[in-house]
Amino acid sequence: MRKVLLVVSAWLVLMTASISSQAGFNEGVVAAKRGDFKTALKEFKPLAEQGEARAQFDLGVMYEDGKGMLPDQDQAANWLKKAADQGNADAQSSFGWMYEDGQGVPQDYRQAVTWYRKAAEQGNDVAQDNLGRMYENGQGVSKDISKALAWFKKAADQGYIIAQYRLGMMYYDGKNVPQDYSQAAMWFQKVAEHGLPFSKGYLKQAYQDVANEEPPDAQFYLGLMYEDGKGVPQDYRQAAVWYRMAAEHGHETAQNNLGLMYVNGKGVPQDDSQAVMWFRKAIRFRFGADEISNLGWMYENGRGVPQNHVVAYALYNLSASIDPSNNNAISNRDILIKEMTPGQIQAGQSLTRQLAAQGNTLAILDHYLSRHH
**93-145: per-residue pLDDT in tens?**
999 999 999 999 999 999 999 999 999 999 999 999 999 999 999 999 999 99
Beta carbons of 127 and 113 less than 8 angstroms apart: no
Angle in degrees, 0-180, between the axes of helices 125-137 and 89-101, rounded to the nearest 10? 30
pTM assigned to the model = 0.69
**53-102: per-residue pLDDT in tens?**
988 998 888 889 888 788 999 999 999 999 999 999 999 999 999 999 99
Query: Max Cα separation, the chain?
Result: 111
Mean pLDDT across 291-317: 97
**159-218: per-residue pLDDT in tens?**
999 999 999 999 999 988 999 999 999 999 988 877 433 333 322 333 333 344 557 888
CA angle 151, 152, 155 (to 5 degrees): 90
The pLDDT value recorded for residue 24 is 59
Domain ranges of the chain: 22-84, 287-373
The pLDDT value recorded for residue 208 is 39
The pLDDT value recorded for residue 6 is 37
Mean pLDDT across 326-353: 95
Reference 55, options 87, 21, 30; nearest CA is: 21
Q: What is the mean pLDDT of the chain?
A: 86
| Residue 151 pLDDT > 50 | yes
Other Cβ atoms less than 10 A from the Cβ of 182: the count is 11
For 300-310, give one letter per residue: b (16+ CB within 10 A) or e.
Answer: beeebbeebbb
22-84: what fold? 1.25.40
Phi/psi at 220 (5° precision): -60, -50
The pLDDT value recorded for residue 69 is 81
